[in-house]
Chain A
Amino acid sequence: AQTVTQSQPEMSVQEAETVTLSCTYDTSESDYYLFWYKQPPSRQMILVIRQEAYKQQNATENRFSVNFQKAAKSFSLKISDSQLGDAAMYFCAYRSFQGAQKLVFGQGTRLTINP
């Protein structure tokens, strides 16, 4: 079974600075998807970024980018120019390329933005 680990329960960063959230996963599959979701206090789980394992290029979405290291099974999220609205729980998730549709989530990292 696949597992996802987020080793940082909490992180904080100064507004306008850059922060990196860590995620590692364990799988025996070669093809899969990885996601970062954000859950603000409103509780709505919002997709931040998606990465296909077969793509070597790291995904980017505006101020959000990932460092995908397939051999190391590492998938970190970098947030540049942090804004107050980035404060939320961030969840890393894994999904198989074929077969089961379920997302396997990590425990989450609570990100605080200091003004």
Chain B
Amino acid sequence: ETGVTQTPRHLVMGMTNKKSLKCEQHLGHNAMYWYKQSAKKPLELMFVYNFKEQTENNSVPSRFSPECPNSSHLFLHLHTLQPEDSALYLCASSQPPGAGDTDTQYFGPGTRLTVL
């Protein structure tokens, strides 16, 4: 596989469920990101990891819990979500800033999440 992959592509869950989204990048990058794309709002950053360390949290509710075990993998653990959390969740990767053109962010295909 090449680029940035995300699984699952679609997920339907109840408000009491616990599920996880997975992202994997095959680009040799050291920075990874979670973005949320809702129907009526612009894409918004949720979390940033550099070299496995979380460096940005954009005031995301604690029902979203990210995990970055290594520079190639990023997870988003979900629990007790609300219907308004239904959205497309996009993962991206890049080199950290200052690395020239390689700090451009490359995106995965997203996970379409529906919370019932």
Chain A contact residues, CB within 8 Å of chain B = 4, 35, 37, 42-47, 50, 91, 97-108
Contact = CB atoms under 8 A, between A and B. Distances in A.
Nearest to B47: A102
A42 B58 contact: no
Interface string B81-106: 00000001010101011100101111
Given A45-B110, A101-B33, 20 more contacts: A35-B104, A37-B107, A44-B107, A45-B92, A47-B105, A50-B101, A91-B42, A97-B97, A98-B98, A100-B56, A101-B31, A101-B56, A101-B96, A101-B103, A102-B45, A102-B58, A103-B105, A104-B42, A105-B44, A106-B42
Sort A-B residue pairs by CB-CB distance and give the 3 closest, nearest first.
A45-B107, A102-B45, A105-B43
A104 B105 CA distance: 12
Contacts of A43: 88, 109-110, 112
Contact of A108 (B42, B45, B96): B42
Nearest to B44: A105
Contacts of B104: 35, 47, 50
Residue in A98, A99, A100 with the greatest tally of chain B CB atoms within 10 Å: A100
Chain B interface residue number, banded: 20 to 34
Nearest to A91: B43
Contacts of B107: 37, 44-46
5 contacts: A44-B108, A98-B97, A103-B45, A103-B105, A105-B43
Contacts of B109: 42-44
Contact of A103 (B43, B50, B108): B43
Nearest to A107: B42
Contacts of B42: 4, 91, 104-108
Contacts of A108: 42
Interface in B40-76: 42-45, 48, 50, 55-56, 58
